[in-house]
């Protein structure tokens, strides 16, 4: 028997986080597997360990039943900014603390949204495949042409930390920047103005109609699920590029599939998909690489950021174990 608090970590996270757990002398158990635990495995393990702390990933579905399996549970800390995989009402009803990792991944995720945007616009994946298929016979005036990024109109849906970091980067490309959110964000507009970005708040319809590039940065909630469906892709320019680094279900996959098929929009670049993971033989993959660029949910995957996320998740967890306010409480942040 030990009176050290017990913590269950559903998969290996960077050492930077585990070191903090070690220093704090908690008894932590890391499930050393590549794939997430199924619900039964998770429940069984929680019953067996009865941990006070659970450190989970966005691939773990933490519902009331999972929470109840650990009778001594005080805190759930997720190694992600998104917490749509955690039943927050159930957590609140049980008085659990819930931590997440906002802020530290915003710049890295914004970098990646731009990587996808540029890839889709300038056809770099197609170019690479073209060379490797030995199809490159000569320089061609019309070979793999795409739209200009500089001078185009960028539409940012969701103007939180990540969306505004994406908008800030548009300064280097002389872009017109439109954004939409639940309300106007004058403070963020002011901050961006210092970088030479004149971000204009517009209604959703106007953003879809005017943007050359539409980039999504909303959390997944009942309100944002299916935000981009058939009416939205139809409203976009037929030359438009859609970029999604938020959550897969924010885009209706069938509607996007049809939009690419029928040329309602030019291209899409997705880091997140519905379903996720996306099987390689899913219907929508027939558009790869000409009209669709895919990535396996890696927008925050820089080495430094993943270390910062690990430390932040560990700190949230330790605060919860100590009965202290979490440095980054998802319960507070969703209010
Ligand atoms: C990544 O998608 C995250 O929520 O951290």
pLDDT in tens, 187-205: 999 999 999 999 999 999 9
Give the model's pLDDT for residue 3.
83
pLDDT digits over 49-84, tens only?
999 999 999 999 999 999 999 999 999 999 999 999
321: which 2 tokens? Answer: 């174990």
Pick the residue whose CA is nearest to atom 3 on ligand 1. 80
Quick check: is 247 catalytic?
Answer: yes
CA 81 / ligand 1 centre spacing (Å)? 5
Q: What is the DSSP letter of 282?
A: S
Quick check: is 276 catalytic?
Answer: yes
Q: From the candidates 31, 276, 282, 290, give the one annotated as an active-site residue.
A: 276
Helix (H, G, I), strand (E, B) or coil at 153: strand
Give the model's pLDDT for residue 2.
63
Quick check: is 210 catalytic?
Answer: no
For residue 291, give the nearest of 133, 178, 128, 123 by alpha carbon: 123
Pocket-testing residue among 77, 274, 300, ligand 1, by greatest number of atoms within 8 A of Cβ: 300
Q: Other C-beta atoms within 10 Å of 124: how many?
A: 16
Pick the residue whose CA is nearest to atom 5 on ligand 1. 80
CATH architecture of the domain with residue range 6-103+303-333 = 3-Layer(aba) Sandwich (3.40)
Give the model's pLDDT for residue 1.
47
Residue 98 host element (H or E): strand 97-99
Q: Which residues line ligand 1 (CB under 6 A)?
A: 58, 80-82, 105, 300
pLDDT digits over 275-305, tens only?
999 999 999 999 999 999 999 999 999 999 9
Tell the CATH superfamily of the 106-294 domain: NAD(P)-binding Rossmann-like Domain (3.40.50.720)
Give the model's pLDDT for residue 299.
98
Give the model's pLDDT for residue 335.
87
Residues of the chain with pLDDT under 50: 1
Where exactly does CATH 3.40.50.720 map onto the chain?
A: 6-103+303-333, 106-294
Please, what is the end-to-end C-alpha distance for the chain in angstroms? 39
Pocket-testing residue among 55, 77, 81, ligand 1, by greatest number of atoms within 8 A of Cβ: 81
Residue 160 vs residues 85, 103, 124, 203: alpha-carbon distances, Å: 20, 10, 29, 16
CA 103 / ligand 1 centre spacing (Å)? 11
Average pLDDT score, the chain: 98
2-24 exposure pattern, b = at least 16 Cβ within 10 A, e = fewer: eeebbbbbbbebbebbbebbeeb
């Amino acid at each position: 028997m030990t009176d050290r608090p017990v913590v269950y970590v559903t998969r290996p996270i960077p050492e930077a986080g585990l070191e903090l757990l070690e220093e704090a002398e908690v008894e932590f158990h890391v499930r050393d597997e590549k794939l997430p635990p199924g619900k039964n495995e998770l429940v069984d393990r929680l019953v067996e360990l009865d941990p006070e702390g659970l450190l989970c990933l966005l691939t773990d579905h933490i519902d009331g039943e999972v929470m109840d399996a650990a009778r001594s549970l005080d805190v759930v800390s997720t190694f992600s900014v998104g917490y749509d995989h955690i039943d927050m009402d159930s957590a609140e009803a049980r008085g659990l603390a819930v931590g997440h990792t906002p802020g530290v991944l915003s710049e890295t995720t914004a970098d990646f949204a731009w990587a996808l945007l540029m890839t889709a616009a300038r056809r770099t994946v197609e170019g690479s495949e073209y060379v490797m298929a030995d199809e490159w016979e000569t320089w061609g005036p019309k070979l793999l042409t795409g739209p200009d990024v500089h001078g185009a109109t960028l539409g940012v849906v969701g103007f939180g930390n990540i969306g505004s970091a994406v908008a800030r980067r548009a300064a280097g490309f002389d872009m017109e920047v439109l954004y939409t959110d639940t309300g106007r964000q004058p403070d963020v507009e002011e901050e961006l103005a210092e970088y030479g970005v004149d971000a204009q708040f517009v209604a959703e319809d106007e953003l879809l109609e005017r943007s050359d590039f539409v980039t999504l940065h909303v959390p997944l909630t009942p309100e944002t699920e299916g935000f981009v469906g058939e009416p939205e892709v139809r409203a976009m320019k037929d030359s438009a590029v859609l970029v999604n680094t938020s959550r897969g279900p924010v885009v209706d996959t069938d509607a996007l599939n049809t939009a690419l098929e029928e040329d309602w929009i030019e291209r899409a670049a997705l880091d997140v998909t519905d379903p996720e993971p996306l099987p390689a033989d899913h219907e929508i993959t027939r558009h790869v690489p000409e009209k669709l660029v895919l990535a396996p949910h890696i927008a925050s995957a820089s080495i430094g950021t993943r270390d910062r996320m690990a430390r932040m998740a560990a700190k949230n967890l330790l605060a919860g174990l100590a009965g202290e306010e979490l440095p980054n409480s998802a319960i507070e942040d969703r209010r």
